[in-house]
Amino acid sequence: MRDPYAVLGVAKSASEKEIKSAFRKLAKKYHPDANSNDPTAATRFNEANQAYEIIGDKEKRAQFDRGEIDADGKPKFQGFAGADPFGAGGPFAGGRSRPGGFEYRSSTKAEDFDADSIFSSLFEGAFGGAGAKRPSAKGGFSGARSGASKGADITAELTIGLDDIVSNEKVEVAFASGKKLAIRLPMGVEDGQTIRLRGQGQASPGLGDSPGDALITIRIAPHGRFKIEGRDLRCSVDVPLRTAVLGGRLEVETLDGRVALNVPAWTNSGKTFRFKGKGLTTKEGGRGDLYVKAEIQLPQGDRELEALMRERSREPAAG
């Protein structure tokens, strides 16, 4: 692979934030789902993924900068490539060998694109890209992927909270077989959406054929405070009468913690305030908004207020 810095278009002195931003732009631009008519998009997408796997990881980036690993993440000076089927010239270049067989390379930055893309790009990358041919059971390479026997798919439902959607932390899903996977949710995940993890299903009965996929249906649990409207959230906040009349500052709980709400004087019940970027994630990588409705709360048992209102009710109408 080309120099990962060149692939992402960043300088070697680029910060982690700059590298992450450059990768996201390329992943969005060349995502196969958005470029069905461009046969080169998948290759560019996988190339960006592989580059980010190297310099998007602090430890691997340091190893690459020191010359300890190459652009494919393999140690340098590891012997003759021709003697190792997993080496730079071998048919399984991009993977790692270990006692007992082949191990797919795991993505170090899965949070930057959806789980479907993660595992499809890993599988395609391991065999040289989206158009590459797989080893056949008879030896050599065969283009008859469609005729191969595939392992069975496995399915599961995963219930998540609103906090899981915006946290970018991994969530664990368990399958009936006992298998467990820790995944990061794709940006803009929705209730009822099915995530496909390629190659994570049951093994194929045939030698050299591909395993099945794991299909995860997402269910979003109801939240006690927030109501979902698209990618926006809505909630209400209690405003004391004194604050509603005189103005003041209140704290509002969001999915990202507490934020300050400046309540102007003479705020009526029902007035809605907007907090930009405090909603749910979008497929483009942004966030929706949070809308907070003011609900005026009368002070219970306030005799002075009651007396004032009675006195006001006896005053003659002005004019």
CA pair distance 1, 53, nearest whole angstrom? 12
Q: 100 or 215, which is more confident?
A: 215
Cβ neighbours of residue 59 under 8 Å, at least 6 residues apart? none
Quickly state the pLDDT bin for 113 (edges 50, 70, 90). very low
Residue in the structure block whose two tokens are 């890209």: 129
pLDDT digits (tens, 9 = 90+) for 242-291: 999 999 999 999 999 999 999 999 999 999 999 999 999 999 989 999 99
For the stretch 286-297, pLDDT in tens is 999 999 999 999
What is the value of pTM for the model shown?
Answer: 0.52
**Consecutive H or E run containing 154:** strand 154-160
Our measurement of the distance from residue 296's CA atom to the centroid of its chain's CA atoms, rounded to an integer in Å, reads 38
Going from the C-alpha of 236 to that of each of 79, 82, 233, 253, 262, the distances in angstroms are 65, 66, 11, 10, 14
